[in-house]
Structure 1
Amino acid sequence: MASEHLDDKKVSPAQDVDPERLSEDNTSIGKGDILQQEHTDPVLNAKMHLINNAIDEIGFTGYQVKLFILNGFGYAVDSLILLIQSIIAGQAGLEFNPGYPAGLTIAAYVGMLVGALFWGLTADVIGRKFAFNVSLMICSIFAIVAGASPNWIVLGLFVCLSSFGAGGNLVLDTAVFLEYLPGKDQWLLTLMAAWWGLGQLVAGFLAWGFLPSYSCDDPSLVEGAPPCTKENNQGWRYVWYTAGALVFVMSIARITVIRLKETPKFLVGEGRDAECVETLQMIAQKYNRTCSLTLEQMQACGTINSDRRGSATHAVKSKWSLGEIGVHLKGLYATKRIGISTTLIWFSWTLIGLAYPLYNVFLPAYLSSRGASFGEASPYITWRNYTLVNFSGIWGPVLAGYMCATRLGRKYTMVIGALITMAFFFAYTQVRTNVQNIVFTCVINFCLNIYYGTLYAYTPEVLPSAHRGTGNGIAIGWNRVMGILSAVIATVADTSTPVPIYICAALYIVMAGVAAIFPFEPYGKRSS
């Protein structure tokens, strides 16, 4: 819509607003919006355009810095919980003698699957704020309790419940951060994935610090070793206690450091224009920035389509109906290009959901077997190497963030990251020495996080704001389903052989091809 129409607060009726004219708006502070040409709801497009202009006008402030850190906690916790269960499974198994050793991995992924779907769907129904404030608290409580588990089944239950809390963070963290970011700073969404590596690093440090000194010996490996009991096998429990306490501190910081308000793009999708403008004006005032957006400008655009808005026009009791969920699912296929994009994104998450756990979640077993073949029986050496590998993973998203801010864009950053990872996967099968082993595992962890970190950021960028939580939740849900499948595969297959590495390499080739044909490229555009 033309800017002069906004200035005099007179615009054409809703049905006359042409989203294509937005790209011709010479007063735009930023560049075009990603989905503005998709002809979904022209009034909603016009309002999103105004919000993007306002966020660009305010610019990057301390508010976004706080969100980068506090949302980053969610990334770190997701990887922390997932890796801790795989790290401690062996020692807990010696104590409990489980009938199904891969049970913890399945419990963790089931919890994260349900968490991703629950928090993702509720994010589009009741908003982003509730999950942001509650999810980490739930995760921390059950992580601490997991350390006191009396048997394998109870441990699996608490791992599942802790993962339920953690599972919602990857859905919400990217959405919340993105919906406050100026267009020129959206590459920071990729950089935020470095927190994932930090979570892995903490898991490695906890294992390195507690397991070698406070764990029982495996009677099958150490002749004459006493049976494993709670008294002589406290290391894995200390890992849970420490991790849970750390997550608890993070959850308190989320509530106290920033009083998160509902995101402007969620509010406008719900028809709450006044609250949207108030939130943006509050940020501008707090950080002494300019924000020229007014409620009159928003209202002058018209009223958004009630069929798309759904919950804003129905009684509160209908918010949890299947029809409400159907509205958001339908919105993810509002146009042919949006539908193709949604499908390819979900397919990519499915592929990485199988490739990543096969290699990384079962990496302790693989490292242990390689270490044994190299004569490294010491748990200290094994977990030291594991920590080094996780440290290297932090820097993949850092490079990816830089690449995304260049003309390579998000799509070709993912293509390059996937292909390089594939090459090193194949090369890794030729490892024969200690030095080669640690170097290659570090390089692979670095490279695969280039792809993974970018996919995390790309997904919410190209999803429609009103349906972002649902689309993101289902994407990560598919990821978790494949994680469960990978645990089953690992149970019946030998993960100490190079076969999983060949499978992972082939999957990354497919991922590179899918990334190349994504219909949207966010570089130089703003999320809708």
Structure 2
Amino acid sequence: MSLDFLEDFASDYENALLQTGFGYFQLLLLTICGLIYMNTAIGVTIISFVLPSATCDYAMTSTDKGWLSASPMLGMLIGSYFWGCLADTKGRRVVLITTLLADGIIGVLSSIAPMYFIFMLLRLINGFNVAGTMCIIFPYLGEFQTTQRREKILCWMELYWTFGIILLPGIAWCLIPLKINIGSGIFFFHSWNLFVALCAVPSILLGLWLFALPESPKFLLEHGESEKALEVLAHIYVKNTGQSRSNYPCTTLRESIRPLQRDGEANIDNYRLENNSSSELKRLFLEIWYQTKTLYKHPYLKNSLITCAIQFCLTTSYYTLMVWFPEIFQRYDDFEKTHPGTPASVCDISSIVTSNTTFVDCQSEIDHTVFFHTFIIGLACIPTSFWLPLCVHKLGIKFFLVFSLTAAGFVTLGFYFVRNSFENLILSCIFEALTSLSISTLYCVLVDLFPTNLRVMAAAMSMTFGRGGALLGNLIFGFLIDLNCIIPIVLFSGMLFTSAFLCWLLPTTGGDDLD
């Protein structure tokens, strides 16, 4: 990406960042951000084990499960742009801390929800908070990296997402089979409730840990706080080199020229000076309005529209199938127990298993093979998680996007042709490995496509479209899986092919002229 009016600032800041070196601080930051991303993977997919576990407790039909799986996506749809706007105006670190702490507290409360509606509402709020974490963590990590290292460092985040996908079924396998039956009146607490509660605790711990980290120096400099930005860079220098603060060679930093000023828009800083009597909320909305308009003007309009469309198509397919995998595994297990040796597709087992029951698969226990199969899916992502950061500079990030999305489209079509649980597992592993790779890779691209004061908002805008697709996808899948499941399979496959085509239209990223 070429931004002529930011070249001086970029080289100035780049030089200051280069002087800090690369070492302990960046590795510590990658670890913390990676753990946050891993925790996000758990938070997004935790509902997949609740669907089969809480069926009897909440008397859920397939449609009810569709609404429940869609509720976090609705929260993410609402929260993505809200938190993205705050992060681009108030700071990355403060929003990350807020969303993590809120996610943990609400997660614990949801574990003791006595009714289906209350649980669904709390999971919606969880999704609202998780959205903030997901759209901010990549820009926050990327703004501490030099242009040369940024892309590769961000690509390593995919490995942490994979660890989350592996860890979740492991935790579920340890906790959900436990015989915990506490209840009085409408209140109940079973093993799956404990599972939900314990999965919420890391969010609180990580939120507290973030208090020890600084705000992004790029954000500080972008918002006129050059002295604070310089202090952060000096702190990084001390951590990496072990030398004293006085040895840091940079003494001043030039502030950036904002795109808003260049484009002739009203200067928000002048607005602040001339309208001190205005409310803080009004000033915040004005900033959001100007930055939103900037995203949909030259030179950002094309990239904004393409990334939003890619997110919509990719996320619709990925999050819908990922959330429903354990439920499908459970249905295959039930079918093969009652119809041994009988081949059946995903659509066949759904229609047969549900034909004689009021509630879909109403039982409190999940078969151990469900945990094992989901665990295997996570392990299948490890090769691609290493392949991405090790080869991204050789093959290019656009190659990974186009290849993985195209292959995932064909794999999705293949779900209609599977005839047993083993074939379903193989395709599920390939699908998860390819699409999770695409999700993380797209976040890396978003960091490079937009300048500092717009990148979180751009990521949030695209995530808003993505979560809208995930919400729609879960509702469609929950409604049609028992009626005509070929429709969502073909629909999701087509969306993945569309995403692959749109990725061809994205500009090449990772060059030295990036902001």
Cα distance in structure 2, aligned partners of 1:52 and 1:291: 15
State the aligned residue count. Answer: 470
Out of 142-151 and 374-383, give the one that drifted further.
374-383
State whether structure 2 residue 313 is matched by structure 1 residue 313.
Answer: no
Aligned to 2:122: 158
Aligned to 1:506: 494
Residue 525 of structure 1 and its aligned partner are, at CA, apart by 2.9
Which residue, 183, 192, 207 being the options, matches 2:147? 183
Q: What is the CA deviation profile of residues 66-124 of structure 1, one whole-angstrom value per residue up to 9, with x for unaligned ones?
A: 22121123322222122112321333231122583333223211222222222100011
Aligned to 2:412: 425
Which residue, 174, 184, 187 being the options, matches 2:138? 174
SS at match of 1:102: helix
TM-aligned CA distance change 1:345 to 1:47, over 3 Å: same
- TM-score (ref. length: structure 1): 0.82
Cα distance in structure 1, aligned partners of 2:55 and 2:421: 28
Q: Any conservation in 2 of the 1:121–1:470 contact (CA below 8 Å)?
A: yes
Q: Any conservation in 2 of the 1:318–1:324 contact (CA below 8 Å)?
A: no
Q: Any conservation in 2 of the 1:332–1:464 contact (CA below 8 Å)?
A: no
Cα distance in structure 1, aligned partners of 2:223 and 2:266: 6
Question: Aligned AA for 1:326?
Answer: W
Aligned to 1:130: 94
Which residues of structure 1 form unaligned runs of 5+?
A: 1-33, 217-227
Aligned to 1:393: 381
State whether structure 2 residue 219 is matched by structure 1 residue 266.
Answer: yes
Cα distance in structure 1, aligned partners of 2:495 and 2:130: 26
Q: What is the CA deviation profile of residues 296-347 of structure 1, one whole-angstrom value per residue up to 9, with x for unaligned ones?
A: x626x889865669443333745644321121112224424x2111110111
TM-aligned CA distance change 1:121 to 1:452, over 3 Å: same
Q: Any conservation in 1 of the 2:329–2:421 contact (CA below 8 Å)?
A: no
Q: What is the CA deviation profile of residues 264-316 of structure 1, one whole-angstrom value per residue up to 9, with x for unaligned ones?
A: 22122212222222221221133227754332x626x8898656694433337
TM-aligned CA distance change 1:308 to 1:392, over 3 Å: farther
Cα distance in structure 2, aligned partners of 1:262 and 1:327: 23
SS at match of 1:293: coil
TM-aligned CA distance change 1:482 to 1:305, over 3 Å: closer
Aligned to 1:212: 177
Residue 351 of structure 1 and its aligned partner are, at CA, apart by 0.8
State whether structure 2 residue 423 is matched by structure 1 residue 439.
Answer: no
Aligned to 2:285: 322
Question: Aligned AA for 2:158?
Answer: A
Q: Any conservation in 2 of the 1:213–1:235 contact (CA below 8 Å)?
A: yes
Percent identity of the aligned residues? 17
Aligned to 1:192: 157
Q: Any conservation in 1 of the 2:219–2:452 contact (CA below 8 Å)?
A: yes
Q: Any conservation in 2 of the 1:404–1:410 contact (CA below 8 Å)?
A: yes
Q: Any conservation in 2 of the 1:82–1:108 contact (CA below 8 Å)?
A: yes
Which residue, 400, 412, 429 being the options, matches 1:413? 400
Which residue, 41, 48, 65 being the options, matches 2:27? 65
Cα distance in structure 1, aligned partners of 2:164 and 2:268: 36
Residue 178 of structure 1 and its aligned partner are, at CA, apart by 0.5
Q: Any conservation in 1 of the 2:39–2:202 contact (CA below 8 Å)?
A: no
Cα distance in structure 2, aligned partners of 1:494 and 1:284: 55
State whether structure 2 residue 159 is matched by structure 1 residue 203.
Answer: no
Question: Aligned AA for 2:269?
Answer: A
Cα distance in structure 2, aligned partners of 1:467 and 1:453: 19
Aligned to 1:223: none
Which residue, 364, 369, 391 being the options, matches 2:326? 364
What RMSD, in angstroms, separates the aligned Cα atoms of the two structures?
2.8
Residue 64 of structure 1 and its aligned partner are, at CA, apart by 1.4
Bigger RCO of structures 1 and 2 (CA < 8 A, at least 6 apart): 2
Which residues of structure 2 form unaligned runs of 5+?
A: 341-364
Which residue, 447, 458, 465 being the options, matches 2:452? 465
Aligned to 2:73: 109
TM-aligned CA distance change 1:144 to 1:303, over 3 Å: closer
